[in-house]
Amino acid sequence: QVQLQESGPGLVKPSGTLSLTCAVSGGSISSNNWWSWVRQTPGKGLEWIGEIYHSGSTNHNPSLKSRVTILLDKSNNQFFLTLSSVTAADTAVYFCARTQTTSWNVGYFDNWGPGTLVIVSS
Amino acid sequence: DIQMTQSPSSLSASVGDRVTITCRASQNIYSFLNWYQQKPGKAPKVLIYAASSLQSGVPSRFTGSGSGTDFTLTISGLQPEDFATYYCQQCSSIPFTFGPGTKVDI
């Protein structure tokens, strides 16, 4: 069973950069899966941030694209999220997740990390 | 972006009840629709993918149906562990988007 675990600072200052790591265990990040970041706020609910494939290809939510970078480290089986120029609106629980894709190209998040709360405040 | 709506936003039910939650997409998403269950302080858990396929390990009392723009999640015989919030999510086009959720409580 694949397990994911987010880590990173729980407090980021406004205008700073949020940086999170997702460690993957029980499976390879080089498998035929996309790896995603999703966040959750009381106000906006669940919001997909973006995803990365082991080739390095990425897709992003256009609402965040200019501020988001997603990278991966195959040697350590982990992937990363950076979100720049953060404001209080970026305060959220951040989840990493694996996308499973069916033969007819339906993708769904079948494994999630427990989530990590990031607060943007001075 | 494809907008997802859900109804009702919350409902009260009893153990043993049959519960139906509706999800609507702002445009045709064929069967590119997933359902998740989330309990407080936990990550979402996939129940149904591709509108009607039951995820491995999920009880058969959960069923999904629909295609195009209108979808339903039905829980037949609500169990105590089913009290949670349920979300639909479209995977037809980027950005993937979620519904606002339906909270099922007693």
Residue among B31, B95, B99 whose CB faces A61 most closely: B95
Going by pLDDT thresholds of 50, 70 and 90, the confidence category of residue A104 is confident
Put simply, the answer to whether A108 touches B94 (Cβ < 8 Å) is no
What pLDDT band is residue A56 in, cutting at 50, 70 and 90? Answer: very high
Q: Is the pLDDT of residue A65 over 80?
A: no
Residue B8: per-residue pLDDT: 97
pLDDT over 90 at A98, yes or no: yes
Q: Which residue ranges in chain B fall short of pLDDT 70? A: none
Q: Which of B1, B95, B100 sits opposite A45 (nearest CB)?
A: B100
> Please, which residues 41-60 of chain A have a Cβ atom closer than 8 Å to chain B?
45-48, 59-60
Residues paired with residue B86 on neighbouring β-strands, in sequence order: B37, B102
Q: Is B42 on the interface with A (CB under 8 A)?
A: yes
pLDDT of residue A77: 97
State percent of chain A over pLDDT 90: 90
pLDDT at A86 over 90: yes
Span A76-95, average pLDDT = 97
Cis peptide before A42 (omega within 30 of 0): no
Judged by DSSP in three states, B4 sits in strand
**Is residue A4 within a helix (H) or strand (E), and if so which, with residue range?**
strand A3-7
CA distances from A37 to A64, B38, B43 (A): 12, 17, 12
Within an 8 Å CB–CB cutoff, is residue B57 touching chain A? no
pLDDT for position B84? 96
Report, as an integer, the average pLDDT of A73-102.
Answer: 96
- Look at residue A15 and tell me whether its pLDDT is greater than 80: yes
